[in-house]
Amino acid sequence: MNAAPIDFDGPEALREPLQAALARVVDPELALSITDLGLVYRLQVDDAGARVRMTMTSPACPVIDLIVEDVENELDRVLPPGYAIAVEVCWEPAWTPDRMSERARRFLQP
């Protein structure tokens, strides 16, 4: 099973490079990409910039700021110069392990 899909709205030519950029962002506590964990809900790109809607595995996550900064940096490497990037961390819907990829499940098994 793959991770929960990312709802993408934008130029089709940017879908794969942007999703690959998000896959390079790793949750340092779990040592897994945020896409394998299923943390990204939506990626929207238009002339105004890029907006990411994502969550964390817990509201008490101590590395939220680091992950958001990594998302911004990775997307900035792929997007055309001058694009604004906004990352919204939300708690609804709540993250569940059902959003994880099979690879992430195997990695986290005891």
Give me the pLDDT at residue 1, please. 55
Give me the pLDDT at residue 28, please. 93
Give me the pLDDT at residue 7, please. 95
Give me the pLDDT at residue 37, please. 94
Give me the pLDDT at residue 107, please. 84
Give me the pLDDT at residue 2, please. 72
CA atoms within 13 A on the CB side of 98: 4
Rounded distance between C-alpha atoms, residue 106 and residue 79, angstroms = 32
The rounded radius of gyration (Å) of the Cα atoms in the chain is 13
Give me the pLDDT at residue 10, please. 96
All domains of the chain in start order, with CATH: 7-96 (3.30.300.130)
Give me the pLDDT at residue 32, please. 92
Residues of the chain scoring pLDDT < 50: none
